[in-house]
Amino acid sequence: MKKTITLLVAGLFAVTSFTTLNAQDCKTKLSLFAENAKAKNYGEAETQLNELRKDCPTISSALYAYGERIYKNKIKTGTDKKAAAEELIQLYKDRIANVPAKTKKGDILGKIGTAMVDYKIGSVKSQYDVFDQAFKEDLANFTNPKSLYQYFELYYGMYTAGNQGVQLEDLIQKFEELTEKFESESERLAKTKNELIAKKDAGTELTSKEKRKEKIADTNIKAIAIFSGNMESLVEKVSTCETLIPLFRKNFDANRSNSLWLKRAAGRLDAKGCDEDPLFVELVEAVDALEPSANSKRYLSGIYERKGDVAKAEEYLRQSLSMETDPIKKARLLYKVATKAKKRGQKGKARKYYLEAVKNNPSLGGAYLNIARLYASSVNQCGNDEFSKRAGYWKAAEMARKAGQVDPSLKSIASRTVNSYMKSAPSKSDVFSKGYKGGESIPLNCWIGGSVRVPNL
């Protein structure tokens, strides 16, 4: 009996030692593999990757992170890109299965969906389903702007195909959901940018980690601007006042107690410029009665302004601005108020609210760009002669320049706008003939007020 127990213990010890040895072997192999991957010795690294995936699939998320580099390089340099993409997709799937605690599922599913779309793998429905899983199961980590756009683009294609059961109301709902997602990502990135801007303004140099953080934020801000704009362009074809009003009217009674539906419907009509229709008023009154918000008060302000009741319009606007406490959301609200005023030709009011928007969100370059356009549209009202009128373009260029400085997504358009305004402004010879040397101040005698400084041309 004693002998049997001794053999049993010895056997258990042997198993334990073997397991420990295997774990150590896995770590050693992983270390060698990582070094090859870092050194871009991808041929040797791929062989090691295959061994590790077979023998040590749960060892570390690093296995899959470095593996991603290998397959992305294979896609870039290889001849059979689709086959390499399929290998990459399987790697992503294995990562989800083998190291779930160290995997952002929404992000990885988004990468799978994008690879499927980019390399034409699977049906439209199977591609869509991967994105839909990311959206439903891990929205917080489903953030890549391109993947979010592809998700909607596929759904739009299913709608236009007419054989997938996607109705117009489904498409509009999906659009609103993704618009809200893009907005939340924009808010998150704006907060990151503003923290870094404040640090630089205080004279503190950014660390290498912060510089990388800023670069990532800039890249994603620009991508969101592009892909959310592309999404808007797609839905614009089928989302008009003529299609939306009957659609929302049909579903209004069934959704009178659904505040989310009411807010989205009112927001869509407002965005499309359908806010003069009686349905918009009904939607706004319904949502304000059910769940008052900064937006519902803003809508009411606009309604009463159109009725000519300035006092009531201003009261609702004050309520709207006082209800929104988050600075990034408040900036968006102020931007919308300013843009409405701009469309109505209320230039002074528009500038006021654009500047307030920038105070709340210093990286909101669109506000500066719109102020630049307001200035440029007013130059003929702002001078006593041709020179002083055209000098207003310097002021417009100054605002456009600020737009590109604070918002990377606007850098290109801001640069083109600055160049255009500088061409319209007085030339070097004009400045010389007036006897200016640069630095002199020219008053702007119009709604713009203040003055503009003659640049050193």
Ordered per-residue pLDDT tens for the chain, 457 residues:
444 444 444 444 433 333 343 788 899 999 999 999 999 999 999 999 999 999 999 999 999 999 999 999 999 999 999 999 999 999 999 999 999 999 999 999 999 999 999 999 999 999 999 999 999 999 999 999 999 999 999 999 999 999 899 999 999 999 999 999 999 999 999 999 999 999 998 999 999 999 999 999 999 999 999 999 999 999 998 999 999 999 999 999 999 999 999 999 999 999 999 999 999 999 999 999 999 999 999 999 999 999 999 999 999 999 999 999 999 999 999 999 999 999 999 999 999 999 999 999 999 999 999 999 999 999 999 888 999 999 999 999 999 999 999 988 899 999 999 999 999 999 999 999 988 888 899 999 899 999 999 998 6
Is the residue at 113 inside a domain? no
Is the residue at 330 inside a domain? no
Same domain, 85 and 97: yes
Same domain, 126 and 168: yes
Same domain, 234 and 250: no
Is the residue at 160 inside a domain? yes
Token code pair at residue 426:
């007085």
Query: Residue 379 gets which letter from DSSP?
Result: G
Give Cα separations from 12 to 24, 56, 253, 355, 405 (angstroms). Answer: 18, 22, 71, 74, 67
Is the residue at 335 inside a domain? no
Same domain, 248 and 205: no
Query: pLDDT value at position 209?
Result: 95
At which residue do the structure tokens 């749960």 appear? 58
Same domain, 126 and 186: yes
Q: Are 217 and 193 spatial neighbours (Cβ–Cβ below 8 Å)?
A: yes
Is the residue at 175 inside a domain? yes
Query: pLDDT value at position 324?
Result: 94
Question: Which of 261, 288, 323 corresponds to the end of one domain?
Answer: 323
Question: Which of 267, 295, 323 corresponds to the end of one domain?
Answer: 323
* Burial of residue 131 (number of CB atoms within 10 Å: 0-12, 13-18, 19+): buried
Backbone angles phi, psi at 225, to 5 degrees: -60, -40
Question: Which of 188, 213, 238 corresponds to the end of one domain?
Answer: 238
Query: pLDDT value at position 4?
Result: 47
Is the residue at 329 inside a domain? no
Query: pLDDT value at position 23?
Result: 82
Residue 249 maps to which CATH number? 1.25.40.10
**Residues 203, 204, 210, 212, CA torsion sign:** positive
Same domain, 347 and 456: yes
Same domain, 254 and 196: no
For residue 326, the SS3 value is coil
Same domain, 77 and 21: yes
- The alpha carbons of the chain give a radius of gyration, in whole angstroms, of 29
- Name every residue whose Cβ is closer than 8 Å to that of residue 329 and which is 6 or more positions away in sequence: 187, 294
Is the residue at 115 inside a domain? no
Task: Indicate the number of domains in the chain.
Answer: 4
Same domain, 405 and 374: yes
Q: Are 156 and 234 spatial neighbours (Cβ–Cβ below 8 Å)?
A: yes
Same domain, 166 and 153: yes
Same domain, 284 and 308: yes
Same domain, 257 and 356: no
Query: pLDDT value at position 280?
Result: 96
Query: pLDDT value at position 347?
Result: 96
Token code pair at residue 13:
């010890």
Query: Residue 452 gets which letter from DSSP?
Result: E
Is the residue at 332 inside a domain? no
User: Which residue segment(s) compose the domain that 410 sits in?
Assistant: 343-457
